[in-house]
């Protein structure tokens, strides 16, 4: 039967309409797919091509150098090596980042960044330490790289990005072998892993296993929320395929190692293997050995569960599983696995923010505006440790001796600044228990300097033609001022008749120093004070006894010219800070004043130090009116230590410089390596 022409026409029209709709819908689907792909690519590029969470600033100390001929004992050298991140081990052949005692010698392996990076043998001779390589060839020096002392964070997260070249090869191998052994060959997804996970999920009736590749984990970490649902797993797989299409395997692995969550340090979340390596071992990811790399790789699966400090048994079993995975993959010999399994776990975490250095780090970061990556500083760990420990011990000693200082309002406070003669700031503490971001007394607490001004009154007099042996009258004195007559008195209330300029300085006598300053003229003394960095008010005779304010850092800077040929340096926290200075005192004046100050700890106001302190030392005590502020400045060859002790509310302490701040300085000085205080 022949189909009527009208019917055929309707069918042809219907086919044409269907084809048009098919083409339209297909075009819309293709366009939607293209837009979806473009959107996915933009997400991936935004996460991996950009910076994701902003990287944090890592604050580091100064490098440390040991030179042949220096006077170090084995005990002091071992302590300093530990402060610079090296671990003491018992085997005679230490590995990277370790040192050991070998008879009458030390064997030190600094590793990446050290000079030389290999083993250095330290021996002791009559002339000092002797350095040589394992072949017995003499070395001039051993230089260790900076250590981490602080960090910034981004909303409580710390991330220090590093390149693949800055990660130990053992760690790269361990991560791939235990997390995704087909990483180098699959297209972002592992069919075998997905089928295994699907079977386990069906068996359990819920999403319990992800079968995620490294690429999928990266997509989850940077683009998705940490929830386990089927739609999210499909989205994760799609994004992983896009990541694998857009980036090579090195870039994907680097991004993964930079962003993977690896536990906490206090209230800080650690993202990336570099931050984790610092917390676990106090070293960079480039310096990890085999068992350390296996521990870090193992923690990726469950950082809190496999934390060696809280769950050492779990951590040890997980490390063994990683080593076994490396053996199965053919990347590790069974004998090396056995040796690595026997290695001890770390027992004490290395804080990303060294508590001893928080005051210094705050000041360094305030100077590092615009810095990126690593902020190198002049901090010397041995000095900073001495300051932190010495302040605790010194305050304890003072409060035991003077119980009235305890339990009445806010506690007694302390601030310390250690400044090299050339202006490098070596150590700082801003309080008895400093925390990041708190009030930093070393820089911000400006208190009356009291008798610390007297060396500069004498310096002004020497510039004016006086000498240290010139006589001064130590008799009652009345000084007219706009507010009435001022009658300064000596701290002990007595007068000695006639004394020399030297004696007035060494014994810190008020009346003869005021008489000397008035004879020289206030403007001349004020000019000298301004030259060394103080800011006294004009035309006030009380300035001659320190009636003006300065911070401990300003005090240390003012005393630095006495060790620096009269040149006042600018304070430098950062290794990149330019070294500048200006002439403040004539070299001979600086030398004469500091020579007189060497008598203060022998027979002057700091004579209590005479029986115990060794080496060259110049010093000055300081006390403000009503004994509200106790100061002590100790000058060793090459550096100044300025100590302030007092109450924040300006209450009387009853302490002189010699009974308060001097005790803190004594405790600090005893903890500074003797090689730095010859």
Q: Could you read off the pLDDT of 422-460 as tens digits, one per residue?
A: 999 999 999 999 999 899 999 999 999 999 999 999 999
The predicted structure's pLDDT at residue 2: 61
CATH fold of the domain at 153-342: Penicillin binding protein transpeptidase fold (1.10.3810)
Q: What is the pTM of this model?
A: 0.88
- For residue 298, give the nearest of 278, 314, 279, 285 by alpha carbon: 314
The predicted structure's pLDDT at residue 208: 44
Residues 6+ apart with CB under 8 A from 189: 213, 215, 216, 237, 240, 241, 244
Structure tokens given for 130: 């002797």
Query: What pLDDT band is residue 45 in, cutting at 50, 70 and 90?
Result: low
- For residue 412, give the nearest of 429, 399, 430 by alpha carbon: 399
Tell me, what DSSP letter sits at residue 560?
A: G
In Å, how far are 54, 370, 634 from 50, measured between CA atoms? 9, 18, 50
Residues 6+ apart with CB under 8 A from 570: 423, 577, 579, 580, 581
With both helix axes pointing from N to C terminus, report the angle between 5-44 and 214-223 in degrees, rounded to the nearest 10: 80
Query: What pLDDT band is residue 39 in, cutting at 50, 70 and 90?
Result: low
Per CATH, domain 72-146 is 3.30.2060.10: yes
Tell me, what DSSP letter sits at residue 356?
A: G
Structure tokens given for 340: 């690595």
Residue positions counted in the chain: 678
The predicted structure's pLDDT at residue 209: 46
Decide if pLDDT at 210 tops 90. Answer: no
**Four-residue CA torsion sign, 465, 468, 472, 478:** positive
The predicted structure's pLDDT at residue 64: 96
With both helix axes pointing from N to C terminus, report the angle between 522-531 and 454-463 in degrees, rounded to the nearest 10: 110
- Decide: helix, strand or coil at residue 111: coil
Cα 322 to Cα 328: distance, rounded to the nearest angstrom: 10
For the stretch 544-589, pLDDT in tens is: 999 999 999 999 999 999 999 999 999 999 998 777 788 899 999 9
593's torsion region: left (phi>0), alpha (psi -120 to 50) or beta? alpha
Q: Are strands 413-420 and 425-429 parallel, antiparallel or unpaired?
A: antiparallel
Catalytic choice (212, 277, 451, 630): 451
For the stretch 48-76, pLDDT in tens is: 665 456 689 999 999 999 999 999 999 99
Question: May I ask the CATH class of domain 358-447+551-563+571-579+623-678?
Answer: alpha beta
In Å, how far are 266, 284, 314, 344, 664 from 336, measured between CA atoms? 34, 22, 21, 15, 51
Q: Where are the domains of the chain?
A: 72-146, 153-342, 358-447+551-563+571-579+623-678
Catalytic choice (68, 100, 179, 526): 179
Which pairs count as long-range contacts for 192-201, CB under 8 Å and 24+ apart, including other chains? 194/237
For the stretch 248-299, pLDDT in tens is: 889 889 988 999 999 999 889 999 999 999 999 999 999 899 999 999 999 9
Q: Compute the half-sphere exposure of residue 108: CA atoms within 13 Å on the CB side of its CA.
A: 32
CB 621, CB 646: distance < 8 Å: no
Range in 74-88, 207-221, 475-489, 562-576 the model is least confident about: 207-221
Query: What pLDDT band is residue 190 in, cutting at 50, 70 and 90?
Result: low
The predicted structure's pLDDT at residue 207: 43
Cα 544 to Cα 489: distance, rounded to the nearest angstrom: 13
* Number of Cβ atoms within 10 Å of the Cβ of 407: 8
To the query of whether residue 451 is one of the catalytic residues in this protein, the response is yes
The predicted structure's pLDDT at residue 32: 57
Give Cα 403 distance to the centre of its chain: 35
The predicted structure's pLDDT at residue 152: 93
525-546 in b/e burial notation, b at 16+ Cβ within 10 A?
Answer: bbebbebbbbebeeebbbbbbb
10 vs 404: which has the higher pLDDT: 404
Cα 531 to Cα 481: distance, rounded to the nearest angstrom: 25
Residues 6+ apart with CB under 8 A from 250: 164
214 vs 474: which has the higher pLDDT: 474
């Amino acid at each position: 039967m022949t189909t009527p022409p009208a019917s055929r026409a309707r069918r042809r029209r219907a086919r044409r309409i269907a084809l048009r709709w098919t083409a339209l819908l297909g075009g819309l689907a293709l366009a939607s797919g293209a837009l979806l792909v473009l959107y996915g690519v933009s997400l991936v590029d935004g996460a991996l091509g950009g910076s994701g969470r902003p990287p944090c600033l890592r604050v580091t100390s100064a490098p440390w150098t040991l030179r042949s001929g220096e006077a170090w004992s084995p005990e002091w050298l071992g302590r300093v090596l530990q402060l610079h991140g090296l671990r003491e081990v018992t085997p005679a052949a230490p590995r990277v980042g370790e040192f050991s005692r070998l008879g009458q010698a030390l064997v030190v392996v600094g590793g990446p960044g050290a000079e030389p990076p290999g083993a250095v043998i330290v021996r002791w001779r009559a002339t000092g330490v002797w350095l040589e390589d394992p072949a017995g060839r003499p070395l001039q020096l051993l230089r260790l790289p900076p250590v981490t002392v602080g960090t910034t964070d981004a909303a409580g997260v710390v991330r220090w990005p590093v390149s693949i070249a800055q990660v130990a090869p053992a760690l790269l191998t361990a991560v791939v072998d235990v997390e995704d052994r087909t990483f180098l060959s699959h297209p972002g997804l592992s069919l075998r892993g997905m089928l295994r996970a699907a079977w386990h999920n069906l068996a359990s009736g819920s999403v319990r296993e992800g079968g995620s590749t490294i690429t999928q984990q990266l997509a989850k970490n940077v683009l998705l929320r940490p929830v386990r649902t089927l739609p999210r797993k499909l989205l994760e797989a799609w994004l992983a395929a896009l990541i694998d299409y857009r980036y090579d395997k090195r870039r994907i692995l680097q991004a993964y190692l930079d962003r993977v969550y690896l536990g906490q340090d206090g209230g800080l979340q650690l993202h990336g293997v570099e931050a984790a390596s610092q917390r676990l071992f106090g070293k960079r990811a480039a310096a990890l050995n085999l068992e350390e790399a296996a521990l870090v790789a193992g923690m990726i699966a469950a950082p809190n569960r496999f934390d060696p400090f809280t769950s050492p048994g779990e951590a040890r079993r997980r490390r063994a599983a990683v080593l076994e995975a490396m053996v199965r993959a053919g990347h590790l010999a069974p004998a090396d696995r056995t040796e690595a399994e026997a290695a001890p776990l770390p027992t004490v975490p290395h804080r990303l923010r060294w508590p001893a250095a928080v005051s210094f780090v705050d000041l360094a970061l305030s100077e590092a505006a615009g810095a990126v990556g690593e902020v190198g500083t002049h901090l010397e760990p041995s000095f900073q440790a001495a300051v932190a420990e010495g302040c605790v011990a010194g305050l304890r000693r003072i409060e035991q001796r003077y119980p009235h200082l305890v339990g009445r309002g806010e506690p007694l406070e302390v601030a310390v600044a250690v400044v090299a003669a050339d202006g490098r700031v070596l150590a700082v503490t801003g309080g008895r228990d400093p925390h990041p971001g708190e009030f930093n007394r070393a820089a911000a607490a400006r208190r009356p300097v009291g008798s610390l001004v007297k060396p500069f009154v004498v310096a002004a007099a020497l510039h004016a033609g006086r000498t240290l042996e010139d006589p001064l009258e130590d008799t009652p004195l009345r000084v007219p001022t706009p507010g009435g007559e001022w009658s300064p008195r000596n701290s002990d209330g007595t007068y000695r008749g006639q004394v020399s300029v030297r004696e007035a300085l060494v014994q810190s006598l008020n009346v003869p120093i005021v008489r000397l300053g008035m004879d020289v003229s206030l403007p001349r003394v004020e000019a000298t004070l301004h030259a060394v960095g103080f800011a006294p008010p004009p035309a006030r005779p009380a300035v001659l006894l320190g009636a003006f304010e300065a911070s401990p850092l300003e005090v240390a800077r003012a005393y630095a010219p006495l060790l620096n040929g009269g040149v006042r340096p600018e304070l430098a926290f950062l290794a990149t800070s330019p070294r500048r200075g200006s002439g403040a005192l004539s070299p001979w004046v600086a030398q004469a004043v500091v020579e007189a100050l060497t008598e203060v700890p022998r027979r002057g106001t700091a004579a209590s130090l005479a029986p115990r302190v060794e080496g060259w030392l110049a010093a000055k005590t300081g006390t403000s009116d009503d004994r509200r502020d106790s100061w002590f400045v100790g000058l060793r060859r090459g550096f100044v230590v300025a100590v302030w002790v007092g109450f924040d509310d300006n209450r009387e302490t009853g302490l002189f410089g010699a009974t308060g701040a001097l005790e803190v300085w004594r405790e600090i000085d005893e903890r500074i390596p003797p090689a730095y205080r010859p």
